[in-house]
Amino acid sequence: MLPTEMQEQVKGCDAVISCLGHRDVFGHPRTLCFDTTRLVCDAIRALRPTNPIKYIVLNTALVDHPDGKTDPPRSFLERCLLWLLGALLPPHVDNVKTSHYLHDEIKTHDSHVEYCVVRPELLVNGDKGVGSPPAFRMSESLQNGIFGGATTTRGNVGRFMADLVTDSQAWSHWKGKFPQIFDVKDAKSK
């Protein structure tokens, strides 16, 4: 998509949500998420909206907060595994690059875009309509290691992202952050 086409798509929007992911782990485009994020942010910047536009992006709990301080330190085994993922899987590098771009470039140099990077645990489809969806919890930092075994239903990710668009208090709290979302069994609230 050309930059002018993206400008037409985001013109008049209050929010843009990106849930892009890679279908082909070793194929192209290798920087789908980063390129799209940059394209959307450049389009918003060119439009110079009166009020900032929200950019909400789905990422992964495998990506650490770019500030290097917010998340707890990873174990040696986790650091080795993440290094290996970065060396072998282009989608992991793409997710890391997207997070760093938003944190390093947009947060500090752009007043027209506000963002939130949502980091779910292992995504699952959920209960397929049986019963009520599980409650979920949000955290400003990672709570479970790679081998923690927590899951997040796609429906809960969707609910949280919708809240970010429609609930000004939720947006005020989470903008500019990299929250982790995960399902909580037997919890009463989010």
Residues 7-49 pLDDT 10s? 999 999 999 999 998 877 777 788 999 999 999 999 999 999 9
Report residue 167's pLDDT band, with 50, 70 and 90 as the boundaries. very high
| Reported pTM | 0.90
Residue with tokens 């192209």: 28
Cα–Cα distance measured from residue 85 to residue 1, given in angstroms and rounded to the nearest whole number: 29
Give the integer Cα–Cα distance in Å for 48 and 67: 27
At 64 the three-state DSSP class reads coil
Sign of CA dihedral 68, 69, 71, 75: positive
Lowest-pLDDT choice from 4-13, 139-148, 163-172: 139-148
What value does the mean pLDDT take over residues 140-153? 86
Confirm or reject CATH 3.20.19.10 for domain 3-184, answering yes or no. Answer: no
